[in-house]
Structures are given as C-alpha cells and as structure tokens.
Chains A and B, each alone.
Chain A
Amino acid sequence: MAMLEVEDLNVRFYTEDGVVKATNDLSYRVEAGERFGVVGESGAGKSVTSLAVMGLVDDPGVIESGEIRFKGEDLLELDDEEMRRLRGNEIAMIFQDAETALNPAYTVGEQISEAIRHHLAPGEAAAEERSIEMLESVGIPDPATRYSNYPHEFSGGMQQRAVIAMALSCDPDLIIADEPTTALDVTIEAQILTLLEDIAEEFDTAIQLITHDLGVVAEFCDRMMVMYAGHPVEMAPVEDVYYDPQHPYTVGLMSSIPRIGDDRDRLDTIPGRMPDLIEMPPGCNFHPRCPYAEEVCTRREPPLVDTDTGEPADVTDHDSQVAACLAHTGELTGRLDYEVTVRDDTHSRPVGSTGDGSPSE
C-alpha cells in the first residue's frame, strides 16, 4: 500500500460558461519517502490535484468521483473535523508564492506556532521553542529574533524558507509542494531544493512536487507524471522519461527548454494552446497539437498503457513507464520518430530513440 493513492479522480468546476473538467480519471501513487514530480503547462490540473489531496477544492469546484487514500484511508470519506486533523499535521503544503501565503498581520513565528499549538498542543512556550528550531532547520540565521519578525521583514528566499518551516512544523509524512521555487531566483531556487532534499531524506518525508520546470524535476524527483488537460499522459521514473520520453507531449515539453550550448535560433514550441477544459477535443485531447496525430486520434481516447507491453497501465508498478498515446496500443500506422539527444557537460552524444522504446544508437 502506497502512502498516497489517488484513484480515478475527477474534479469539476461548475462555472457559468460550463463544466470545467480539471482532472479526468487521474490515478497515481506516491510511496513513503518518495519524491514525485507532477509536470505540465498552466491549467493542466496540477494545482487542482494538490488542492484535492489537501481537501481544499473550493466552490465552484467539486470532487465528482474517485478516491484519495492516504495511508489506506479515503480522505473523501472524512468529515471536516477529521480532515483538519490531517491537514498541516500529516499532510502539509508548501505554496508557490510565499509572500502572499504568509499573513502580513502576524509574525512569522506566530504563524508557525499556531499550527504546532493546534495539532501537537504542547503549550505556548514549547510551541515557540519548536518553531524556533524549525526556523533554524530551514537555515534561517538568528531564528530566535526572526521568530518575532513580520513577513515583510523577510527577503523572498527567507519567506519561502519560513513557509517550508511551517509545512515541516508537525512532522508531516507527505508534503505537497506547489511550485515552491517558481517565485525565486535561480540561486535561491537551488538552495531551497537542496533544503527540501535534505529534509525529505532526514525525515523520510514523501514530497509531491508540482512544477512546470522540467529542470527542477530532473534534479529533485524519483518519479514523475506529465499532465495534459487534466489527464496523466506519461508517468515513469524520472530517468526513463528524460532519456526515453514516450508521449509526443513530453517530447514537446522537453524540446522547448533552452540549454547552454544550444545552437537553435528559436526554441521549439508546441504549436497551439491547451484546449478549453470545457469543450475538449474528442479522442486524444492532444491531437490538435500533435505532429504525429492520425485520423484515429480524433476518435479514440488513448488509454494509459505500459509502453513496453501495451498492456493497460498498472499504477502500482513504479518501475514501469506508462503513457497515453495510441502509438503504444498499436493503433497508429506511423511511428513516433523523434530523436533524443543527451548532452553531458563536455560533449553531447545522440542516443537516439524512437517512440516504440527501442533505442537505435
């Protein structure tokens, strides 16, 4: 049993323009101590997924069906009171923009202490002491003084550290980090990621990292899931996805990253935009943007299958690489003929690969 099991999750937003299908039959697992990346463009359903796990999907959003099991317990069955006992305690969240996530009217220390007091009830002084320890553990110098500072007296990086301290304050087993470094500059980003890495190792905390930055995932995660229009399109150990992506969308995402030594005049972009989540294209949602799309793609929604066997995906098998593309069910006439080039620091060598998973060096 995995620590977090999301099963066929469907989140809908009932708006005046229609029903927004934010996630569609989304299933994934996160193991204890695992670092799981969720990648995709804006609007792919990444943040909704994390809010759903936190039980914080708000009006007009509704979790229509599915299960979210945390340590075997279905969170959707819990009442508000029971959910609150988990939130901030066993499942914690790190927000994207620390500046807005901190309440400007209370000291940073108070904002950490209140969660500790609420969940662990150790008394005022002990809560303060623990908060100061937390501030210290996330690398904030002079934590005792910083405890009584207000958020505006912190720099951006320090604020993000404080938010991480908050998430860690009750020793959670799962941290959902929603773009924790997006608002920071690169040097701070590296520090924060290292910090999260150390913490995850020290406390054996599972981290679900949501990001649109493939570089961050490569550096940080064990496994990853690529999302498109509320669907998982590819899921596999990070290295498999990077060296041998099996979904045209993943390939498109990767070729749109600039690299040092890049000799392209223009970056490759994926043509078009993410579809309207109210009226999604029939068949494969990605087909209007897909260079390999065939007629069948407009009719048949591709199932998530094991790319080696073509069998329906088993989300509990963490070593398998799964993707939702008809190329893997043998329903396409053509092949996904792209090449993957792997660059080292010193030289680059094409390893080459075709979409059917057979390296052709």
Chain B
Amino acid sequence: MSLRRYVLKRLLITIPLLLGVTLATFAMVHFIPGDPIDFITLFTELDPETKQQIRARYGLDDPIYVQYLDWLANAARGDFGTSITTRQPVTQEIAERLPFTLLMGSMAFVIAIVTAIPAGIAAAYHRNTKVDQVSRVAALLGIAIPNFWLGLILILVFASWLEVFPVLPPTGEGLLSSEMIVYTLLPALAIGTGSTALLMRLMRSSMVEELDKDYVTMARAKGLPERTVVGKHVLRNSLISVVTVAAIQVAFIISGSVVVEIVFSYPGLGRLLVNRVRNHDFPVIQALVLIIGVAVIFANLLADVLYAYLDPRIRY
C-alpha cells in the first residue's frame, strides 16, 4: 500500500474517533456534580418557574441526546455557545487564549525534541562513558521533578534572584513579541523537561539496540563514514519508536500546561480551564476538553504517518 493511501485510510479512521471524543466530552461534563443553574444564578434563591425559564434558555430542559446533537451541530460550525461566567461567546474566549498555549506548548515540544534527540544519540554512541552517565542522571532528575515545582524553582532562580526573566507576563504585548517569547521560555522549560528526559532515554536505548544490528556492520563494511552510518542508517531506525512516544508527549504537554499556566499566571487555555471548572462554566469546559481531545488525536495521527514514513514495513 502506498504511503498516500495509508494516510487517507488513517484519516478516515479519525472520523469515528472524533465523534467518540465529542460524546465522551459531552457526557463527562454532564456528570460533573452540581446544578449548572446555581452557577448561572450565583446561588440566588429562585422560584421554580424562573429556574425553569433559565433552564429553557440554556436548552437544559431538552432530553440529553437533543442537547448533545444541538451542541454537536453548533460545535461543527465553530459555535460553542456562551460562557456562563462572562456571557461572552466561548469561541471568542478560546481564540484569545489558544495562541498563547500553542506558543508555550510548541516551545516546550521543540525544546524537548532538539535536546533529547542529539543528547540521546550522544549517550548511545558513547555508551557506558562519562557522557552516558551524566545524561542518565540528568534524565532521572528530569523525570522525577514535578513540573509545577520546577516552575516555581525557575521563577525563584531566574525571575526573583537573577532577575533575567520577568515574574509576571507582559501586558499589552503581541503574541510573538520578544517580551512574550522570553516570558514563555520558563514555563515551556518547566513543561518540556519531563518529556525531554523521557525522550532522551528512549532515544538512547533505541539507538543502542540498533547500533548492535548487522546492518550497521554492513554499512561500515561498505566503507561509509561514521556520520553516514549513524546519521542515516541507525538514526532512522532508532527514531521509529521515539516518534510514537513523542506524539504521546503532546498530550502530556497539554495536560502539563494546565498546572504550569497557573504557576506562571500564563494567559493560556490551561488557566482558563481551571478557572471555569470552579464556576461550572460547562460550555467553556466542554469546548476546552474537546480541543484537547482533538489535539491528542491529531498528534497520534501525525505519529502514525511519520511512523509509516520511517518504517516502510508499516503499511497496513
């Protein structure tokens, strides 16, 4: 099967998966204990009739499947309703914060990839030497340290003591302004460290395994220089298992952003989510959970495609 057909097939499988995610999202939010009406009316005592009217206005009196289908139909058009807390369209609220989270997440991911892969290669190639031992200890620390704690330490050291980074996010600056990017560096580091450590170890072990294979001796026997043997032959095969895990890291980075954004007062989706969960702002929660779910699905899709590209044996 050609790569194109494989990608197409893989895309088709995504459709029912997406539907499943919407259903799960919707159901999950409706299982949150507490009556949303109370949060809409800020716990004022109301007569049942007024309550009923509010219920009707938010469509909360319809049967649950009608509510779901309505929500799904609107969501498909990009309309996630109105926030209970701010009375703003949910789509607008998310659109304002999404770029910030995207910036932080992609910086975290890039940091993880560009440090983990070369460091993993170095550790594997110089296995059982000082380089390997240092990287092993660093990885252990990176995995063991919780990201929110790392965030606090980073603020303490770099923002408070050394004063090389601002403590609070810059206000009124554009997303891609240098101030914003500099500010994002610390939270991105806090989120990305765990993934870096994990991917580095994985890269190392995957590479060590590949380095022992016959095709490596064969490549050397052809007289190819070491950089071709490692950079071409070994690298591609070692990346196969790393790619899958890297894609799963996207999910970890998103979930990590929730806590880290709070620590850094970062104006992204994670902080929005935490605030709105407190207020039972179900339209916003639903939209955010859906976005996270979709992001994970597409990260996995990308991983599968990359996997198939790297390993020609995978074309089912």
Query: A residues engaging B (CB < 8 A)?
Result: 51, 54, 56, 84-89, 92-93, 95, 97, 100-107, 114-115, 118-119, 150, 152, 163, 166
Q: How far is the CB of B220 from chain A (nearest CB, A)?
A: 6
The 10 lowest CB-CB distance pairs between A and B, nearest first, are: A88-B223, A88-B222, A87-B223, A100-B214, A115-B222, A103-B215, A150-B312, A93-B221, A101-B218, A84-B223
Are B215 and A101 in touch, CB under 8 angstroms? yes
Q: Is the CB of B312 within 8 A of A54?
A: no
Give CA–CA (A152, B240) in the complex, Å.
16
Q: Does B213 contact A (CB under 8 A)?
A: yes
Which single member of A56, A85, A105, A119 contacts B237 (CB below 8 Å)?
Answer: A105
Contact, CB under 8 Å: B220 / A114: no
> Hey, what's the 0/1 contact readout for B298-310 against A, CB within 8 Å counting as 1?
0000000000001
Known contacts A84-B224, A88-B223, A114-B224; A104 and B218 CB within 8 A of each other = no
Could you tell me the distance in whole angstroms from the C-beta of A32 to the nearest C-beta in chain B?
A: 21
Residue B225 interfacial (CB < 8 Å): yes
B74 within 8 A of A: no
* A51: B residues at CB distance < 8 A: 217
With A105-B312, A150-B313 known to touch, is A56 a contact of B223 (CB < 8 Å)? no
Whether B215 contacts A102 by the Cβ 8 Å rule is yes
Chain B positions within 8 Å of A101 at CB level: 214-215, 217-218
Interface centre among B221, B225, B312 (most CB of A within 10 A): B221
CA distance A19 to B245 in the complex (A): 41
Q: Which of A86, A88, A105, A163 has the most CB of B within 10 A?
A: A105
B233 contacts partner chain A, Cβ-Cβ < 8 Å: yes
A100-B213, A104-B311, A152-B313 known; A87+B218 contact, CB < 8 A: no
**A95-B214, A100-B214, A114-B224 in contact; A105/B310 too (CB < 8 A)?**
yes
A118 to B228, CA, bound (A): 10
Residues of B83-124 at the interface with A, using a CB-CB cut-off of 8 Å, are: none
Contact B215 A166 (CB under 8 A): no
Closest to A116 in B: B222
CA distance A335 to B85 in the complex (A): 105
Count residues of B near A (Cβ-Cβ below 8 Å): 21
Give the interface of B toward A (CB within 8 A). 213-215, 217-225, 228, 233, 236-237, 240, 310-313
Contact in complex: B214, A104 (CB < 8 Å): no
Q: Which residues from B are CB-within-8-Å of A114?
A: 222, 224, 228
A262 to chain B, nearest CB (A): 35
Given A101-B214, A101-B215: A115 and B224 interface contact (C-beta under 8 Å)? yes
Q: A84-B224, A87-B223, A88-B223 are in contact. Are A104 and B237 (CB under 8 A)?
A: yes
Establish whether residues A152 and B222, one from each chain, have CB atoms under 8 Å apart when the complex forms: no
A/B interface sample: 8 pairs, CB < 8 A: A88-B221, A93-B218, A95-B214, A102-B218, A105-B236, A105-B237, A152-B312, A152-B313
Q: Which residues of A contact B223 (CB under 8 A)?
A: 84-89, 115, 118-119
In the complex the two chains form, what is the Cα distance from A115 to B312 in whole Å?
21
A119 to chain B: closest residue by CB: B223
CB distance from A108 to the nearest CB of B (A): 11
Contacts of B313 in A (CB 8 A): 104, 150, 152
| In the complex, chain A residues whose CB is within 8 Å of the CB of B221 | 54, 56, 87-88, 92-93, 95
Shortest distance from the beta carbon of B264 to any chain A beta carbon, whole Å: 41
| Contact partners of A163 in chain B: CB under 8 A | 218
- Measured CA separation A216–B248 after assembly (Å): 52
Flag if A118 contacts B224 (CB, 8 Å): yes
Complex CA distance for A85 and B225, rounded to whole angstroms: 10
Is the beta-carbon distance between B311 and A105 smaller than 8 angstroms?
yes
Q: State A100–B237 Cα separation when bound (angstroms).
A: 13
**CB neighbours of A115 from chain B (8 A):** 222-224
Task: Knowing A104-B311, A105-B237, A105-B311 are in contact, say whether A87-B214 is a contact too (CB < 8 A).
Answer: no
Other than the given A56-B221, A88-B221, A118-B222, 10 more pairs (CB < 8 A) read: A100-B215, A101-B217, A102-B218, A103-B233, A104-B312, A105-B237, A115-B222, A118-B224, A150-B312, A166-B218
When chains A and B are docked, how far (Å) is the Cα of A117 from the Cα of B240?
26
Q: Are B312 and A103 in contact (CB under 8 A)?
A: no
Q: Is the CB of A84 within 8 A of B214?
A: no
Chain B residues with Cβ under 8 A from A106's Cβ?
233, 236
Chain B residues, CB < 8 A from A103: 215, 218-219, 233, 236-237
> CB-CB < 8 A to B312: which residues of A?
104-105, 107, 150, 152
Of all chain B residues, which has the CB nearest A166?
Answer: B222
Which residue, of A51, A104, A166, has the highest number of chain B Cβ atoms within 10 A? A104
Chain A CB within 10 A, most for which of B218, B224, B236, B313? B218
CA distance A166 to B224 in the complex (A): 13
State the Cβ distance, B12 to closest chain A Cβ, in Å: 25
Residue of A nearest to B310 (CB): A105
How far apart are the CA atoms of A103 and B217 in the complex, in Å?
11
Complex CA distance for A301 and B312, rounded to whole angstroms: 54
Write out the residue numbers on chain B whose beta carbons fall within 8 Å of the beta carbon of A84: 223-225
Residues in B neighbouring A102, C-beta threshold 8 A: 215, 218
Q: Smallest distance from the beta carbon of B309 to chain A beta carbons, Å?
A: 10
Whole-angstrom distance from the CB of A91 to the nearest CB of chain B? 9
Complex alpha-carbon distance, A150 and B221, angstroms: 20
Bound Cα distance A358, B221 (Å): 45
Closest-CB distance, A280 to chain B (whole angstroms): 27
Q: What is the minimal beta-carbon distance from B69 to any residue of chain A, in angstroms?
A: 46
A85 to B228, CA, bound (A): 14
How far, in whole Å, are A87 and B218 apart by their CA atoms in the complex? 10
Measured CA separation A97–B217 after assembly (Å): 12
> Which A residues are CB-close (under 8 A) to B233?
103, 105-106
Cα–Cα distance between A86 and B218 once the two chains are bound (Å): 14
